[in-house]
Amino acid sequence: MSFLPYVVAVWVCVIGLYGIVTSRHLIHAIICLSVVQSSTYVLLLAIGYRKGYAAPIFIDIPRSTKAVDPVVQALTLTDVVVGGAVTALLLAIAVQLDKHLGTLDPDELDPLRD
């Protein structure tokens, strides 16, 4: 079993967090949040993956075929839906904010500035 997917998952998570922390634009920050979210997809799929096993769809393969874990794939799907909902809502808020303030730079949004 390879460690690579786990390293990738952690890397994607950390790079996304770094992106949010240093972001200069709200849309950029929102995309970074979905990058962080994607790290969980990698992690979940890596946990269920077994080398050489088939996809867990038994329509055209014998029932006895060894397949990768379908549970984590279901979890990933749910997670994708959740992530999509959060991103959509955040983008909607960003659009409204832009309408009011005409900017999405966090420094311009900074309430401490004035």
Partner 1 sequence: MSSIPFATDLADLAPVAVAGPFLVAAILVTALPFTRRHVELIAALATSLVVALCVALLLKALHETGPVVSRLGGWQPRPGGVVVGINFTFDSLGAALALLAAVLVAAAQAFTLRFAAAVGATFHALLLVFLGGLVGFALTGDLFNMFVFFELMSVSAYALTAYRIERADSLQGALTFAFTNSVGAIMILFGIALLYGRTGALNLAAVGQALAGRESDGLVVVAFAMITGGFLVKAAIVPFHFWLADAYAVAPTPAGIVFTGVMSDLGIYAVARIYQTVFQAPLAPHAGGVRAVLIGFAVATALLGAVMALGQDHLKRLLAFVTISQIGLGLIGVGLLTPDATAGVALLISADGLLRAGLFVCLGAVLHRCGSVYQSRVHGAGKAMQRVWPVLFTAGTLGLAALPPFGAFWGKALIEGAAADQGYGWIPAVFFVATVLTAAALLRAGARVFLGWGAQSTSSSDPREPKAEERELEESRRRVPQAMLASAAALILAGLALGALPRVIDRAQQGAHVFADREAYAAAVLGRPIPTRPPVAAAHIGAFEVVLALVTVLAAVALAAMLLGRVRIPFTPPAGLRRAAERGFLRLRRLHSGQIGDYVAWATLGFAVLGGTLALAT
Interacting residue ranges for partner 1, rule: CB under 8 A: 13, 17, 20-23, 26, 29, 33, 36-37, 39-40, 43-44, 47, 71-72, 75, 78-79, 82, 85-86, 89-90, 93-94, 96-97, 100-101, 106, 109-112
The first and second tokens of residue 47, run together, are 């946990």
The nearest distance, CB 42 to partner 1, in angstroms, is 10
Measured CA to CA, the distance from residue 69 to residue 83 in angstroms comes to: 22
Backbone φ and ψ for 57, nearest 5 degrees, come out as -125, 115
Nearest approach in angstroms of CB 87 to partner 1 is 9
Residue 60 or 113: the one with the smaller Cβ distance to partner 1 is 113
* Bridge partners, 54 (sequence order): 67
Token match 């769809």: residue? 57
DSSP H stretches of helix in 1-114 = 4-22, 26-48, 70-101
CB of 66 to partner 1, least distance (A): 15
